[in-house]
Every structure is written in structure tokens, then in C-alpha cells.
Structure 1
């Protein structure tokens, strides 16, 4: 069993982190689940060295607790600096960063761009995994577009992906040689924003009307038709958005307390 990798996941109790820790444990990895709730703070640096003790792989799925772009950029820059410095000292073999497809063209995501740059210039062996928008955020996105009973959506496409599929892809990527570059992860179907939002509305029996509006933005940014689609060669996953919506309505998710993971999950 000497080939079992020790993996530290930062952001381990978030939406992706929880699924990722479960996936890694199920596939035989030794996992350290690192988050503020387990005494590890990527901003202050508290607990980072302890969390990386003996780690072969670091997977960074941290997310800013503040959505405001300036604060988010500060968070991602400081966190990535602290994590990459600690990873070098710990002789981590592979740094895997979760990022977002479309990050280069969306002002709201400047913080993720800064995070990517910090990792890419760190001198570490790394892979940046950019995922498309998560199925799990579809209702939030839909709600942001509804005003006075109308969902005004951009004339653009989206290729959403399930968090569990992203977790499985990250686990595979972590075990592969570092790419020192970017790999995209996307769901199996390209949809228009209109169809995407309509599916959410139908699933919850919401009477809002979907209107394709050339002036509609995505988190304040005007989109080209394919701004949110992956580049060629993306890792395409299996879970269709409409199938996920159906299962979601039948079996709402059960949320775990952060304390359930503890600092070590072996």
C-alpha cells in the first residue's frame, strides 16, 4: 500500500470540498481535510504547515467568503501566496487548483485570475482545472436574473457540470502527472441560457417568463455566445443538467456539519 497518495484538500468543507474529500477517501487516498473549521486558515497561514505535513498532493478548492470583486481578489491572492509558499516548503509533488471556465473574460472573476497566476508562477508542479458552472448554483443564477416576474437572460450558451463529477475529475487529475497548464472540466450538454433557466423554473413550478435580452449580463459582464464554454479537449462528464434537477427535487441534499470531517479523514 506504499503507493497510496497523501492528499491535503484546502476548502474541504465547501460545496466542492465535501464531495472531493468523500471521493478521495472512496478511491483509497489518505486525506487531510483542511478548512477554517478544522483550524486551518489560508489567509492568516494558521495550520497550513500542519495540514501539509507528509502531503504528496495539494488540492486547492478554496473560495472567497466575500463575493465583492476587490475583496475576492485580495482573498485569492493572499491565500494562493500562503499555500504555494507552504507547498514548496513541504515538497508537495503536485498542486491542483480548481478554477472556472471563462475566468479570462469576466471582470467578476479577476480574483480567480490572480489565484491562477500565483500558482502558475510558483515554481511548483501544478495543474489548473477550470470547471464550467455547477449544477448546484443554477437556482442562484436564475434568481439573480429575475426581475418583476421576468428572467432576462443573455444570448449565450452554458455547459453546466455536477459538483460530484467535478470532484471525481479532480481526484483523477491529482493522480496524474502535473500538466503545468490548464485542463477544462464540463458537463455533457451545451444549453442556451434560456433553456437552462427555463429548466430551473419548470422544476420548481415558477411562472416567471424567460426573455432573451442582448443587454443582459452575467455577474455584470456582457457575454459572447460561447464565453462560458470550455476549450477543445475538455474532460466531459456524465451527469445531464435535467437529470440532476429531477433527482434534486426527489431527494434534496443532506448537508453535513463542517465538524463532521475533522482535521484528518483517513
Structure 2
């Protein structure tokens, strides 16, 4: 059996849920998870067109996961940190083009990262502080997602191809227990244009998933992973529930669930966790 999970950033009307249920094989009674989410038990996934909402099918067994592993840039936060840093250095257009191509899987991630960091060489540490203060914020639902899963006993890890300078702050703001990323190198409080090694990319994200799951005494089937770009593909494909969040085609095709119209609380609803059980500030 499966659950069809209908989510959006706007309220889903009962009639919309009923219309979807009428098209599903052996559909049960819709259950409202939140104003923005409904789940419907059914026999299996089929294509149903729904305007302005995401419809995903998840197996009914083992829905709630024991670990959340998430990308940061354009997933937990709405921007790419390196692109915003590049704006302070006056090279945003050039860097953003490299970022976009790397996230689509058109460029080698490690080489693209080195090139972009080289382009912001000389930036003072104060620019990074200003960048975080003015440009970085959590995406809607991020803190509720992380804190709810942590409160329910799940491990939470922010694993990014970005930089520890930002992941440490974003992890604290969202409530992640663990954060891993690349290290920017400073000399006299200015970026040297180099990044610490080894570089954390696609394989390192998968390795983190496997290592942390093993340390927790469970397997990848008990993990929910979320990202947006090609370097998240191995991690998302390996997880028991891999989610593509407003993602590039390279990731969408390998994910179990795709979210285009929902905020990050949809990851809770995919697991059957209703709004009444969400942890809020």
C-alpha cells in the first residue's frame, strides 16, 4: 500500500483532495495533515494532474524516518552563498553562471568550486559577516522540519558543498545537530582564494549519510534526504525517501518525491506527521 500525499504552500480544499482520491486505485478516506496537506491511502502510484500543488506517493510502511540529511544552499536557505559572496566581490554574474552549470551537473563540482572560490580571493572576513546578516535566511518550514524531527528522536545533519562559515550558523538557526561542509581559508582575515581539502561534494554527501546511519544503528532506508542540485543525487538516491526540493532536472529524475509548490514542512507530511505534532518556536 501507498499514501498519496498532496501538499502546497496554500490551503488545499477538501474538494481538491476528494477529486484526487476519486482517481486513485483503491483509495481510502483522505486525512488532513494540515491546511496545506492531505494524505490518501491507495493501492499504488499513478499520474494525477493537480494544479498548484505537489502530489507524491510514498510506501505506507516505514514512513517516518530516523534521520534527516539536508543540503543547505537553495534547499534550507533560498540562495547560493558563494553567489552572494561574489556579489560583494563584484563578480556575481560570472560566479552564478558557474554555480548554475555545476548544479545542473554540467561541470565537475570540485573544479567548479575551486574556480568560484578563486574568484572571491581577497574578500575580508567582514564581507562574509555582512553577507550572512543581510542575505542568508531559512527557507519557510526549515526550522519546523528540523526541530520536529529532532524532538521525535531523529538524527539531523546539514551536509553542504558550501562552506562551514555558513553551515555552522544555518545549522544553529534551524536546529541541526550536525553540520559538514567545505572550509574557506583566510590569511590576515582575507580569503586566500583556496578551499580546504578534501572537498565535500557528491560522494562525501553519500558517505556522510552512510556513516551517520551506521552510527545510529539503522540503514539508508530509515533516512530522508533533501537537496536541489546534481551534487545531491547520490545522497537522495540512496535514502529511503529522497526528496528533490525545487530542484534541477538532474536531481528530480533520481528522487522519490518532488516538491515544486510546497515549503519544507511537506517533508513532515510525506512522513505522515500532522501539523498538530509539529514543533514551533
State the TM-score, normalized to the length of structure 2: 0.27
TM-score normalised over the length of structure 1: 0.28
